[in-house]
């Protein structure tokens, strides 16, 4: 097995790694590091928690030490929390260089960020939306000389979806030099490979972990089949079980909406579990502070939406519970990848209702692993069912009394304004679209009705004819 020096890494970086307990390269590092040091573009597809960040941070730092200037490297991340985590790795490993980094993410003060950018930091770690805003609105910094562009969780950054990064990426790519090294990393790169190859044009080196499965062996993947109404009781039962059986534990519960995240947090707190939440309707400062409290084990339970599904590296997480079955296998892969990291063991438990079974099948097909049923004593769950459901209902009523839904509406409006759209016009447009859709539906129903009538009429006609023929 190769060591860092045979991969071409400098002594000072090897020493720095050793201080962090990193002594041997992981496969993604062993394979991608030499190619990056050689000056090639790189697409790295490795399982969650397998050291992807160091696989790009180390070679960038080495190249930076040979020719230090700012802005040398730009890293893009789909989430703000992940951007902070990446910047931290740069800072820790690059300490001997006196590395200057700068984090540019939404929800934080723009003026402070603009000032930091104008000071030519060596490395900028950013989320696309906020960086594009700076590029559009300011000429106090230049990215025309960067050596490295890195897209972490590249498939997410390039995917077209509700948070569409494409326009922002276009703005960013427009100010970067064509001559640069582009590095793309993710645990789920293969789906969008062609698109990725068009961004990394410099004969990219492609590396994918060879294993057939897409999740790590150290992860014990389980499911519980449950009716929707009993889901929360199962959740509470599982948490109680982990609390009773382990001293040192922490767990992440993933759910599909901000509101559900909020209600579950309230419910678990009401039931005296040390719970904290992370979702996009929270103020950014609160998001960072909650994550920090979870990382330092002040709170043992984090309830999160998919904003926490990618990249976050919290070694104490032993359990991931999917309160809802993810609709996309790749969302599942990233969620459960928050545990069993860097060779440690972990468990994931997915709560599955009868409507989600097809989703489980497509997840299993993707990960090439069969999930096993998690054994539960149902009697124990039924004992707490009423109390849990009543507590949940109380929390729902409490939340309804707040302006949570209203805030969501305001956030939507703010987003539209930021995108340069008029919320009133958008609302009118939406209403008109809905009206057209309703008309279309009505029209379709009418046609269906007419067809049915016509069929019946013909049937009656044929019947009558054949009766006459018999007579």
- Phi, psi at 83, each rounded to 5°: -60, -45
Neighbours of 382 (CB within 10 A): 12
Binding flags for ligand AMP, 300-319, as an x/- string (CB under 6 A): -------------x-x----
Residue in 9, 13, 26, 62 binding ligand AMP, rule: CB under 6 A: 26
Query: Nearest 5°: CA angle at 206, between 201 and 210?
Result: 165
- Phi, psi at 102, each rounded to 5°: -150, 135
* Cβ closest to ligand AMP, residue 34 vs residue 274: 34
DSSP state string for 138-178: --S---TT-SEEEEETHHHHH--SSS--HHHHHHHHHTS-S
Residue 50 in the binding site for ligand AMP (CB under 6 A) = yes
Query: Nearest 5°: CA angle at 84, between 78 and 90?
Result: 110
Binding flags for ligand AMP, 331-360, as an x/- string (CB under 6 A): ----------xx------------------
Residues 41 and 457: their CA atoms lie apart, in Å, by: 68
Least separation, in Å, of the C-beta of 187 and ligand AMP? Answer: 9
* Cβ closest to ligand AMP, residue 128 vs residue 337: 337
Q: CA torsion sign, 387 to 393 to 398 to 404?
A: positive
The residue range among 50-58, 126-134, 154-162, 211-219 that interacts with ligand AMP, by the rule CB under 6 A, is 50-58
Residue in 13, 25, 154, 180 binding ligand AMP, rule: CB under 6 A: 25
Instruction: Compute CA 295 distance to the chain's CA centroid, rounded to the nearest angstrom.
Output: 18
Neighbours of 58 (CB within 10 A): 29
Binding flags for ligand AMP, 259-298, as an x/- string (CB under 6 A): ----------------------------------------
The residue range among 43-51, 168-176, 375-383, 434-442 that interacts with ligand AMP, by the rule CB under 6 A, is 43-51
Residues 152 and 44: their CA atoms lie apart, in Å, by: 10
Residues 326 and 366: their CA atoms lie apart, in Å, by: 13
What is the DSSP code (8-state) at residue 420? T
Residue 52 in the binding site for ligand AMP (CB under 6 A) = yes
| 186-225 binders of ligand AMP (CB under 6 A) | none
Q: How many residues bind ligand AMP (CB under 6 A)?
A: 15
Residue in 31, 33, 41, 49 binding ligand AMP, rule: CB under 6 A: 49
Least separation, in Å, of the C-beta of 105 and ligand AMP? Answer: 18
The residue range among 18-26, 34-42, 271-279, 419-427 that interacts with ligand AMP, by the rule CB under 6 A, is 18-26
Residues 371 and 328: their CA atoms lie apart, in Å, by: 16
Least separation, in Å, of the C-beta of 75 and ligand AMP? Answer: 12
Least separation, in Å, of the C-beta of 426 and ligand AMP? Answer: 38
Least separation, in Å, of the C-beta of 271 and ligand AMP? Answer: 32
Q: CA torsion sign, 425 to 427 to 429 to 431?
A: negative
Instruction: Compute CA 432 distance to the chain's CA centroid, rounded to the nearest angstrom.
Output: 33
Residue in 29, 181, 188, 350 binding ligand AMP, rule: CB under 6 A: 29
β partners of residue 372: 222
Residue 63 in the binding site for ligand AMP (CB under 6 A) = no
Residue in 45, 54, 151, 238 binding ligand AMP, rule: CB under 6 A: 54
Residue 51 in the binding site for ligand AMP (CB under 6 A) = yes
Least separation, in Å, of the C-beta of 440 and ligand AMP? Answer: 47
* Cβ closest to ligand AMP, residue 58 vs residue 360: 58
Side by side, which strands form the sheet with 148-152? 101-104, 123-126, 73-76, 148-152, 181-186, 42-45, 205-208
- Phi, psi at 273, each rounded to 5°: -95, 140
* Cβ closest to ligand AMP, residue 307 vs residue 388: 307
Binding flags for ligand AMP, 133-172, as an x/- string (CB under 6 A): ----------------------------------------
Omega of the bond prior to 71 within 30 degrees of 0, cis? yes
* Cβ closest to ligand AMP, residue 52 vs residue 80: 52
10 Å CB burial of residue 177 (0-12, 13-18, 19+) is exposed
Site residues (vs ligand AMP, CB under 6 A): 22, 24-26, 29, 49-54, 313, 315, 341-342
């Amino acid at each position: 097995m190769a060591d860092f020096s045979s991969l071409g890494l400098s002594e000072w970086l090897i020493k720095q790694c050793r201080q962090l307990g990193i002594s041997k390269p992981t496969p993604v590092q062993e394979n991608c590091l030499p190619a990056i040091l050689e000056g090639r573009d790189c697409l790295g597809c490795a399982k969650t928690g397998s050291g992807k960040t160091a696989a790009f941070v180390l070679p960038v730092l080495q190249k930076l030490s040979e020719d230090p200037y700012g802005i040398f490297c730009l890293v893009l991340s789909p989430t703000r929390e992940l951007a902070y985590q990446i910047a931290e790795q740069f800072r820790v490993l690059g300490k001997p260089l006196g590395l200057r980094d700068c984090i540019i993410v939404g929800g934080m003060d723009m003026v402070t960020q603009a000032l930091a950018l104008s000071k030519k930091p060596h490395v900028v770690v950013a989320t696309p939306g906020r960086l594009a805003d700076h590029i559009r609105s300011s000429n106090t910094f230049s990215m025309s000389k960067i050596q490295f562009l890195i897209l972490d969780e590249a498939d997410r950054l390039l995917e077209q979806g509700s948070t569409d990064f494409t326009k922002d990426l276009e703005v960013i790519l427009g100010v970067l030099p064509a001559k640069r090294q582009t590095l793309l990393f993710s645990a789920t790169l293969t789906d969008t490979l062609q698109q990725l190859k068009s961004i990394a044009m410099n004969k990219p080196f492609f590396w994918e972990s060879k294993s057939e499965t897409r999740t790590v062996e150290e992860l014990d993947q389980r499911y519980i089949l449950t009716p929707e109404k009993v889901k929360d009781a199962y959740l509470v039962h599982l948490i109680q079980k982990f609390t009773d059986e382990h001293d040192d534990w922490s767990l992440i519960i993933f759910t599909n909406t901000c509101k559900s995240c909020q209600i579950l947090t309230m419910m678990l707190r009401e039931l005296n579990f040390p719970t904290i939440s992370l979702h996009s309707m929270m103020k950014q400062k609160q998001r960072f502070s909650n994550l920090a409290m979870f990382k330092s084990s002040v709170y043992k339970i984090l309830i999160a939406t998919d904003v926490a599904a990618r990249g976050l590296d919290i070694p104490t997480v032993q359990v991931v519970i999917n309160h809802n079955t993810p609709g996309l296998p790749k969302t599942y892969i990233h969620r459960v990848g928050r545990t069993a990291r860097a060779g440690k063991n972990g468990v994931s438990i997915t709560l599955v209702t009868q409507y989600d079974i097809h989703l489980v099948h497509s997840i299993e097909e993707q990960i090439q692993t069969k999930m096993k049923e998690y054994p539960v004593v149902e009697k124990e769950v039924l004992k707490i069912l009423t109390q849990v459901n009543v507590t949940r209902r109380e929390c729902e009523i409490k939340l309804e009394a707040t302006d949570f839904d209203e805030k969501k509406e305001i956030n939507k409006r703010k987003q539209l304004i930021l995108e340069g759209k008029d919320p009133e016009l958008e609302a009118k447009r939406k209403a008109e679209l809905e009206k057209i859709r309703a008309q279309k539906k009505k029209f379709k129903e009418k046609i269906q009705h007419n067809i049915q009538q016509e069929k019946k009429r013909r049937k009656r006609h044929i019947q009558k004819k054949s009766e006459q023929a018999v007579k």
